[in-house]
Structure 1
Amino acid sequence: MYLNCKTYFSYRYGTFGTQELVDTAAAKRVKALALTNVNSTADAWDFVDFCRQAGIKPILGAEIRNDQQLMYILLARTDQGLMHINQFISQHLIDKKDFPSRPLLEQVWVIYPLGRYKPEQLEAYELIGVRQEELVKLYGQSPEKHPRKWVVLQPVTYQNKTYYNLHKILRAIDLNTLLSKLNAGDMAGENEFFKDKLELWNGFSEYGFILENTLQVINSCEISMALHTDKNKKFFTSSKEDDRILLEKLAMEGLEERYGAGHRLARERVMKELRIIHELNFSAYFLIVLDVVRYAQNRGFFYVGRGSGANSIVAFCLKITDVDPIKLDLYFERFLNPHRTSPPDFDMDFSWQDRDEVIDYIFKRYGREHVALLGMYSTFQGRAIIRELGKVFGLPKPEIDNLVFRRKEQYPPEDGIQRAILRYGALMEDFPNYQSIHPGGMLISEKPIHSYTALERPPKGFNTAQVDMFLAEKIGLFKLDILSQRGLAHIKDAIGLVKQNKGEEVDIRQVERFFTDPKVADQIRRADTIGCFYIESPAMRQLLTKLRCDDYLTLVAASSIIRPGVAQSGMMKQYIERFHHPHKITYLHPKMKELLEETYGVMVYQEDVIKVAHHFAGLDMGEADILRRAMSGKYRSHNRFKLIEEKFFANCKGLGYPEEVSREVWRQIESFGGYSFSKAHSASFAVESYQSLYLKTYYPMEFMVAVINNFGGFYKTSFYFHELKKSGAKVFPPCVNQGHYLTSILGDEVITGFVHVQNLERKTMDRVLGERAKNGGYHDLTDFIERTHIDAEQLNLLIRVGAMRFTGMEKKELLWHANFSRKRMDTVPVMHSMFQEEMPEFQLPDFPKRPLEDAMDEIELIGFPLGRPFDLVDDDRSGLTYVRQLASLIGKQVCLLGQLVTTKPVRTIRGDTMAFGTFLDEEGDWLDTVHFPPVLKRYPIHAGGFYRIMGKVVQEFGVYSVEVQQLISVGLKKA
């Protein structure tokens, strides 16, 4: 009877969770149930899974709407019918066109609302749905003349009256209107809940043929697809065996290149991995990833292969990754083993400039019928819920702000509307709000992708599945992550600039050489890492200093313990203390010292959990990985985990360990397992960090220009210009005769790019630079205006930022001539003069120039001065301390002048707010500060600017900072 059920994946319409819908049906002893979300099949396979577990026959379909108008309900009679429904939905969502009034779909029932068509007008697959409250409309129509055309239609949209109210709220949010302004056509009817079966039977008792036909329609529908079975592209070549042979051939070639001939351990591991890869049907997956990598290599794209795939020596030999798993003692089972219940994946990072082309290649190489980006969905959360509900209830913004602030108070507000907002807001917490895109996941299926999901296409994007990663996993589709990051663009552009500016070629993949380079080691030891991927933040630079980091393995550890969960758990502090005092470490057992001496007895990595479980407790590698996954929050409820726990203690007893030692090792696994990070991830990050470090060490100017041109990094652009000048570069304002849209470098001279000039239009500069490229540099102001026909506002911006300095005139004189010339040109046709018309001569007065005028123009137009920012500070320098002096002033009171770089507010255990600050002093050195709650409350830190910083110098493991006691904002000089 229930052929039209919706969940909250009918976004901002339904109120049932998928499991809740099935559980409700099971409680009412429903034997068959149809899921028909609005223009969506997003949770179809969860629904099928839950129904099968509950002994309910699942029927899949969709409710098709054009805006608010219900067109029809589609029900799949077979798996193929579902594929046709997905294709149908996808076609109209992607093309953004209305659904037709009558669809033509194979293996699909089409149910129209009563009154849309007469039964004699319908085809064999078309039906009319009748609601119980609509039965009176059948009188006089003789429905018995067409008994096969009618079915019972009892929509299920919400649970009860309370959720009906929530449904109306969701509709108001969706339509961006006040709740009081909703029309009847904007929302569901008042009877769209689970009516009792007996009530429906009794209601349709006069029309037994409708009940009978409804049952026949239900019986005709069958979804047979099995879940949790491999649905991915089966073969890269023509067969599984050919895939095995090709992968082995390529891996053995790479083995010789990576390790040379005769490396027995590496060869044995390659062969072991190849056997497991073949047995688990992963050969095609490896070959597809390799295919993508080789395309990137051929196009000159930089990439980093990371994720748990970096645990594989086969991936290393194929140059999918640059992480040596033998050198780092990485376990393949962390990536792939027979016990894994979910498929692993490779994370492939590309430059943000190249990623879309790589994605486009995958679509074209493997076919748009088989490829989709992975979807996800955004949910209603916290403060956003209160704001949305406040708007639809019509509350003024100040009242909404107050309610957001007070939402977690123990006692509810007395106002009825505010109580309703908090009540319904709690009900809709975690409801899906809208379809989104996974950051990088891609699906490549053997059957057409529409067999599993409908697709959407975000603006300027690629076809995106309506299913998320969890549902894809349930279906049996594993993802390939094609991610983007700006760090790779820094590297790529820096190499290009080095070649262009110095004529030198840099082979950035020679990372083993970088690991042992003494200059690079010194650079990282001094934490001179601004601009370098993953290691430039204040916290990371402090950690590098505390660990005296100057080698690859220490950087790998630092990349892991800097993670938020690790740091908050106290593990980072424990690691640092043990690093400095290794003689104080007490190991539980000699075996634990053998296993964890590299990390000072701390399980820093997920691989450490596997190592201890395998080598200490005797679990096999697959079981050890299950334990690792369970400790990180997965599968803890599974019976398999309990069995492994029992085996852990039984093995320990059999190995003769005292029970208290075994219990303590288990406790440590539990303690560290939830926070530890993948060593392969950290190792991959560290490789890219070293590549950035090498470029910053040997080519600091080119590297920093590349960072600036990619607008990526922890800090604002102005501080990368600071680093650029610190490296010896001479920085000049933009120039129409020598500059480019992006910042450029020639020798040690850098010309700021036009991209940094606020309100300067890209189309204007494309015209200016295009004309220069075509017909040569500009001779003077008149030549520039006549050739570019630039408008007055854009011309004034160029003059004020200094881009017209090639004329030899001062800005004010240029502005006068420019505006006069523009007015003359506005009165003549827009064309090049046949004869050069000379500019009339004028005797202009002397325009006074103030010392800071250019700097102030740069602050207004670029956002920061290109010269020395401290020249603008209106403050006496007497009695100041500088960062270079702090090491000799530990415990002393000091006063520094600093430019604020960034702050990080944190909560104390007592719930108070404190902050860590980062400043630059006048000599260009970086200063770390600590602002405890009382000081922060009395001396708040405002955005940007200069401060007098008074406090006490403190030191922790070689990091010097100032505990602030007073912070006074310092003004700027008048221009």
Structure 2
Amino acid sequence: MFLNCHTYYSLRYGSIAIEELLELARSFNISTLSLTDINSTSACLEFLRTASKYGVKPVVGVDFRNGANQEFVLIAKNNTGFENINAYLSEFLHQDTYQIPQRSKLMQDVYVVYPFQKNIDFELLPNEFIGISYQELAKLPFSKWKNKLDKLVVLHTVSFQNKKGFNTHRLLRAIDNNELLSRLHESEQGELWHQFVSEETIEKYFEHYPDIISNTKDLMSSCNVVFDFSGEVPNNQKSYTANEALDYKLLEKLSYRGLEYRYPKADEKVYVRIKKELEIIKEKGFVSYFLINWKILKYARSKGYFYVGRGSGANSIIAYLLRITDVDPIELDLYFERFINLYRKNPPDFDIDFSWQDRDDITNFIFKRFPNTALITVYNTFKYRAAIRELGKVFGLPKSEIDVLSSGSYNYQTLDKLSQLVVIYSKFIQGFPNYLGIHAGGILISEKPIHHYCGTFLPPKGFATTQIDMVIAEDIGLYKFDILSQRGLGKIKDAVGIVAKNHADLPPIDIHNIAKFKEDLRIKYLLKNAKAIGCFYVESPAMRMLLKKLQVDNYLGLVAASSVIRPGVAQSGMMREYILRFRYPERRKDAHPVLLDIMPETYGVMVYQEDVIKVAHYFGGLTLGEADMLRRGMSGKFRSRDEFLKVKEQFFSNCRNTGKDLNFTQEVWRQIESFAGYAFAKGHSASYAVESYQSLYLKAYFPLEYMVATINNSGGFYSVELYIHEARLHGGNILAPCVNHSEYIAVIKGKDIYLGFMFLQSFETKTAIKIINERVNNGRFLSLDDFIERVPISIEQITILIKIDAFRDFGKHKRELLWEAHMKINKVTFDEFNISLFQVERAAYEIPKLTSTQLENAFDEIELLGFPLSNPFNLLVDKNLSTFRMKNLVNYIGKIIVIEGYLVTVKKTKTSKGKQMFFGTFLDVDGDFIDSVHFPPVAQKYPFRGKGIYRITGKVMEEFDCITVETTMMERLAIVEDPRYADSRKAQRPKPKKRVS
């Protein structure tokens, strides 16, 4: 009876969650329900998966609308019909702008229901009907359909659950239309009665039209869309070669061929592992998954693209042999069952990182090579603060009031009625899907057409994207390929290129020679002393301190650190325990004997995802399948699902039955729960460590070239300014952009590093390209007149170049050049101009001798680059600095000191009681890092006030060789007045009047 039900996946329209819709249906004793979201099939698979739990037969389709205007509802008779609806919907969603027609095209196994109020002037086909609501029955006797009752069905729309749901719907429609609620037109919203009523109520309304009731029931009873949600059979592309037997032969051949490259002297252990993996890969049906990844990466290598393969698949020797990963599972003793076991339903995870410059081409290759391909969507939901802002605008609140509500600094009881409504409804819509985005790297390659499962839309990148997310895709056996973008790889690739150009006398760098890097003494020094700024995954303040605490100077130590740093391990207290057991061997005996036996390498502390599986299996008595479900459940995907809760109960039951202490069992569970969703698989950590070693090698031997590559790839953990500082520490001479030396990106010539035009704020790319092309084609610029003759440029753009001193080769001061430019360049310029055959000499103007100071230059640099190229401490009003420096604080442990630091970065976090605190990172006047801690009372009293130099008062603390300042007081120091505007301000000040005697 309910052919037209919406969830909140009818974006910015519906207000009901999927399970809430089903619960409402059960409460009204509704046995069959049709979900037809507006221009979306996002909710259909989840609806089909969960409906039986509520005793509801699910029917699915789509409500096709132009805005809020309903054109028709399509309902799938079976899976073929559902696929046809998805394909038809996608035809519209792949257009920039689209108009749903008044009549649906003819499709197999699809019912079409046109709303009664539409003026239908065509003959209905057998699969087409007119839908009428009980509110419209009074009009039926006067319509042309009064004698065609066989073509009528009940069309009762359900979009919200109650009056609050209706009010929410109106707010969502106002947000969607960017309109004040008071001005929202009725045509843009639904009706209050678009709620559930009982089937008995519907039948009562239609008691004089029993044919309409029976037509509706017949239509719904004939619909049956079925999917297998067991996950037993993968629905990814089944065969790489179109023959599964040939697939296996190819995988076997490639694996053994890879021995020559990976294991020239392979022993029996290697052969046993290969045989074991191949058998299980074949049995689980994952052969094509490996071959598709192999093909993608074979293409990448043919194009010279750098990549890193990581994820749980990095535990696989087959992946290592196929060059999907660069991690040796034999060397690292990687736990085979984390990668794959007979109980595991989903294939292993391969996360393939590419440079951000290369990823689009890889994606394009995948779409061309494999027919049924789509990117995966993510549901971008309403966040509380964003909802506050959206609803504040809808209610017409002034920006100042919205800012107060958004900050959370208010007393709810003292708010006016409108502000209270904003808060109430913001909390209500928090978590509602707002719009569909694109997963960071997930791609589906399926056996059947993607439209068999859902509709697709076309984002700006131009690749078809699903309307379902990765969790729902996995439910039906579609497992994603992860093709990710990472700037770290761009840095490595660019640095290798810069080194090859600047050091042509040296042999080419083999950046993949990780075995050599692992033994390199310079790299060991950088790691142990945490001098890894710019290096992938080891440069953050937290990682820098952890490396010192663990005294890491080898590959395995770095692998462990890469996982120990993850949030769950750190927050659960296990990171501290791991450090203690590492540094003090006698403490290892405190570990529970069972846990120490399971995890001897990590002293009985869970560090890797494998440890969760091992502990769940050996300590908790779970099967490997249950243990893997536990691991996946902890990641948040299935936390609320019954199967996860059953596994948890089984864990405690098994521990109780084997006589384990309840308190200890609860502690082990707490440790599992605290970090299982965050910790890395060991192979994943090992893959990260490989990339870290590549960047560490470049930093150790070619620091300037590596820093230039880092700067050009928009930095890393920190801003570009810090990497410029790092280059200077390594002897680099940092120079502002120059018209005769600079490129679009930064370039290095000897030890001179010229910043590129890309770093200049408000400087146009097209102008930069013209300058570079002209210089390449016709030689250096000789004077300002020569530059103006050869490059079409506006006065605004040339002013930027002059202020950054890009014409310094010409021997004139900036102020003189500015005078000249304003007299010689018209306000209006054209993109192209013709160079005359005869050079016309420009008029020479008598310009007064002008100078500029280093202080003025610094402020120009701050304006145009975002930071000064000189020492920022030179800009302080009070240059009397404390005598304390970071390098000698080790002599003042436990003492109160005062030290000045230039702010680098701030990490905000919360205490266990939910109060806000901070960790600060500064540079002292010598350029060394200061690490500070700001507990809640101090954080509130002495807040960070943006970029600048701060005077920090605090106690020097030491833990595991790491020095921090526990802040008790902090102030940002004043800098000198900008001299460029000081004169004009003085001129504007009123002169004191002369006294009249």
Shorter-normalised TM range: over 0.9
Cα-to-partner distance string for 1:354-386 (whole Å, 9 max, x where unaligned): 11111111111112xx11111121222323333
Q: Is the 8 A contact 1:725 1:731 kept in 2?
A: yes
Task: Classify 1:54/1:878 alpha carbon distance in 2 versus 1 (closer, same or farther; 3 Å).
Answer: closer
| 1:749 corresponds to which of 749, 752, 758 | 752
Residue 241 of structure 1: how far off its partner (Å): 1.2
1:766 alignment counterpart: 769
TM-score (norm 1): 0.94
1:962 alignment counterpart: 965
1:19 alignment counterpart: 19
Q: Match of 2:477, as an amino acid?
A: G
Matched position secondary structure for 1:59: strand
Q: Match of 1:553, as an amino acid?
A: L
Residue 641 of structure 1: how far off its partner (Å): 5.2
2:566 alignment counterpart: 563
Residue 58 of structure 1: how far off its partner (Å): 2.1
Q: Match of 1:448, as an amino acid?
A: P
For residues 161 and 822 of structure 2, what CA distance do their matches in structure 1 show? 69
Q: Match of 1:86, as an amino acid?
A: N
Q: Match of 1:40, as an amino acid?
A: S
2:86 alignment counterpart: 86
Residue 684 of structure 1: how far off its partner (Å): 1.6
Q: Which moved more, 1:871-880 or 1:917-926?
A: 871-880
2:255 alignment counterpart: 251
Matched position secondary structure for 2:324: coil
1:458 alignment counterpart: 459
Q: Which moved more, 1:514-523 or 1:935-944?
A: 935-944
1:240 alignment counterpart: 244
Task: Classify 1:718/1:513 alpha carbon distance in 2 versus 1 (closer, same or farther; 3 Å).
Answer: same
Residue 552 of structure 1: how far off its partner (Å): 1.1
Q: Is the 8 A contact 1:309 1:315 kept in 2?
A: yes
Matched position secondary structure for 1:948: strand
Q: Is the 8 A contact 1:277 1:283 kept in 2?
A: yes
Matched position secondary structure for 2:700: helix
Unaligned runs of 5+ in 1: 654-658
| 1:611 corresponds to which of 611, 614, 625 | 614
2:149 alignment counterpart: 147
For residues 397 and 784 of structure 2, what CA distance do their matches in structure 1 show? 57
Matched position secondary structure for 2:225: coil
Task: Classify 1:661/1:515 alpha carbon distance in 2 versus 1 (closer, same or farther; 3 Å).
Answer: farther
Q: Which moved more, 1:91-100 or 1:331-340?
A: 331-340
1:482 alignment counterpart: 483
2:983 alignment counterpart: none
1:656 alignment counterpart: none
Q: Match of 1:445, as an amino acid?
A: S
Task: Classify 1:474/1:911 alpha carbon distance in 2 versus 1 (closer, same or farther; 3 Å).
Answer: closer
For residues 524 and 384 of structure 1, what CA distance do their matches in structure 2 show? 41
2:988 alignment counterpart: none
Matched position secondary structure for 1:143: coil
2:985 alignment counterpart: none
- 5 Å matches for 1:725-874? 725-823=728-826, 830-874=833-877
Q: Is the 8 A contact 1:9 1:43 kept in 2?
A: yes
Matched position secondary structure for 2:158: coil
For residues 307 and 453 of structure 2, what CA distance do their matches in structure 1 show? 31
Q: Is the 8 A contact 1:511 1:687 kept in 2?
A: yes
Q: Is the 8 A contact 1:632 1:674 kept in 2?
A: no
Q: Match of 1:495, as an amino acid?
A: V
1:668 alignment counterpart: 668
- 5 Å matches for 1:136-175? 136-141=138-143, 143=145, 145-175=147-177
Residue 775 of structure 1: how far off its partner (Å): 2.5
1:106 alignment counterpart: 107
| 2:297 corresponds to which of 289, 293, 299 | 293
Residue 859 of structure 1: how far off its partner (Å): 1.5
Residue 53 of structure 1: how far off its partner (Å): 3.9
- 5 Å matches for 1:673-752? 674-676=674-676, 677=679, 678-752=681-755
Residue 557 of structure 1: how far off its partner (Å): 1.5
Residue 973 of structure 1: how far off its partner (Å): 4.2
For residues 305 and 513 of structure 2, what CA distance do their matches in structure 1 show? 16
Task: Classify 1:877/1:408 alpha carbon distance in 2 versus 1 (closer, same or farther; 3 Å).
Answer: closer
Q: Match of 1:16, as an amino acid?
A: I
Q: Match of 1:348, as an amino acid?
A: I
Task: Classify 1:196/1:167 alpha carbon distance in 2 versus 1 (closer, same or farther; 3 Å).
Answer: same
Residue 647 of structure 1: how far off its partner (Å): 4.9
Q: Which moved more, 1:467-476 or 1:950-959?
A: 950-959
Residue 640 of structure 1: how far off its partner (Å): 4.9
For residues 319 and 912 of structure 2, what CA distance do their matches in structure 1 show? 44
| 1:944 corresponds to which of 928, 943, 947 | 947
Residue 6 of structure 1: how far off its partner (Å): 0.9
2:9 alignment counterpart: 9
Cα-to-partner distance string for 1:251-303 (whole Å, 9 max, x where unaligned): 11223421224411121111111111111110000111111111111111111
For residues 961 and 827 of structure 1, what CA distance do their matches in structure 2 show? 57
Task: Classify 1:312/1:670 alpha carbon distance in 2 versus 1 (closer, same or farther; 3 Å).
Answer: farther
For residues 246 and 213 of structure 2, what CA distance do their matches in structure 1 show? 55
Q: Match of 2:45, as an amino acid?
A: W
Task: Classify 1:208/1:619 alpha carbon distance in 2 versus 1 (closer, same or farther; 3 Å).
Answer: closer
Matched position secondary structure for 2:362: helix
Q: Match of 1:502, as an amino acid?
A: H
Task: Classify 1:587/1:631 alpha carbon distance in 2 versus 1 (closer, same or farther; 3 Å).
Answer: farther
Task: Classify 1:217/1:626 alpha carbon distance in 2 versus 1 (closer, same or farther; 3 Å).
Answer: closer
Residue 615 of structure 1: how far off its partner (Å): 5.7
Task: Kindly report the root-mean-square deviation, in angstroms, between the aligned alpha carbons of the 2 structures.
Answer: 2.6
Residue 614 of structure 1: how far off its partner (Å): 5.1
For residues 172 and 156 of structure 2, what CA distance do their matches in structure 1 show? 21
For residues 672 and 619 of structure 1, what CA distance do their matches in structure 2 show? 14
Task: Classify 1:823/1:145 alpha carbon distance in 2 versus 1 (closer, same or farther; 3 Å).
Answer: closer
Residue 852 of structure 1: how far off its partner (Å): 2.1
Residue 808 of structure 1: how far off its partner (Å): 2.4
For residues 829 and 225 of structure 1, what CA distance do their matches in structure 2 show? 61
Task: Classify 1:494/1:949 alpha carbon distance in 2 versus 1 (closer, same or farther; 3 Å).
Answer: same
Task: Classify 1:51/1:885 alpha carbon distance in 2 versus 1 (closer, same or farther; 3 Å).
Answer: closer
Residue 703 of structure 1: how far off its partner (Å): 0.5
Identical-residue share of aligned pairs (%): 45
Task: Classify 1:190/1:665 alpha carbon distance in 2 versus 1 (closer, same or farther; 3 Å).
Answer: closer
Q: Is the 8 A contact 2:895 2:956 kept in 1?
A: yes
Cα-to-partner distance string for 1:430-461 (whole Å, 9 max, x where unaligned): 22121122111111111111111101112234
Residue 638 of structure 1: how far off its partner (Å): 4.7
Q: Which moved more, 1:428-437 or 1:85-94?
A: 428-437
Task: Classify 1:760/1:255 alpha carbon distance in 2 versus 1 (closer, same or farther; 3 Å).
Answer: same
- 5 Å matches for 1:540-619? 540-587=543-590, 592-613=595-616
- 5 Å matches for 1:902-913? 902-909=905-912, 911-913=914-916
Q: Is residue 532 of structure 1 aligned with residue 535 of structure 2?
A: yes
For residues 806 and 394 of structure 1, what CA distance do their matches in structure 2 show? 56
Matched position secondary structure for 1:719: helix
Q: Is the 8 A contact 2:906 2:918 kept in 1?
A: yes
For residues 31 and 934 of structure 1, what CA distance do their matches in structure 2 show? 58
Task: Classify 1:910/1:150 alpha carbon distance in 2 versus 1 (closer, same or farther; 3 Å).
Answer: closer
Q: Is the 8 A contact 2:813 2:851 kept in 1?
A: no
TM-score (norm 2): 0.92
Q: Is residue 516 of structure 1 aligned with residue 526 of structure 2?
A: no
Task: Classify 1:912/1:235 alpha carbon distance in 2 versus 1 (closer, same or farther; 3 Å).
Answer: closer
1:176 alignment counterpart: 178
Matched position secondary structure for 2:599: helix
Cα-to-partner distance string for 1:797-822 (whole Å, 9 max, x where unaligned): 11111111222222122222222221
Unaligned runs of 5+ in 2: 980-997
Q: Is residue 272 of structure 1 aligned with residue 238 of structure 2?
A: no
For residues 593 and 519 of structure 1, what CA distance do their matches in structure 2 show? 34
Task: Classify 1:384/1:115 alpha carbon distance in 2 versus 1 (closer, same or farther; 3 Å).
Answer: closer
How many aligned residue pairs are there?
Answer: 965
For residues 493 and 572 of structure 2, what CA distance do their matches in structure 1 show? 37
Q: Is the 8 A contact 2:820 2:845 kept in 1?
A: no
Cα-to-partner distance string for 1:863-902 (whole Å, 9 max, x where unaligned): 1122333333343446512222222333344433321112
| 1:121 corresponds to which of 117, 120, 123 | 123
Q: Is the 8 A contact 1:524 1:550 kept in 2?
A: yes
Q: Match of 2:465, as an amino acid?
A: T
For residues 969 and 183 of structure 1, what CA distance do their matches in structure 2 show? 52
Q: Is the 8 A contact 1:880 1:894 kept in 2?
A: no
Residue 307 of structure 1: how far off its partner (Å): 1.1
Q: Is the 8 A contact 1:119 1:146 kept in 2?
A: no
Q: Is residue 339 of structure 1 aligned with residue 340 of structure 2?
A: no
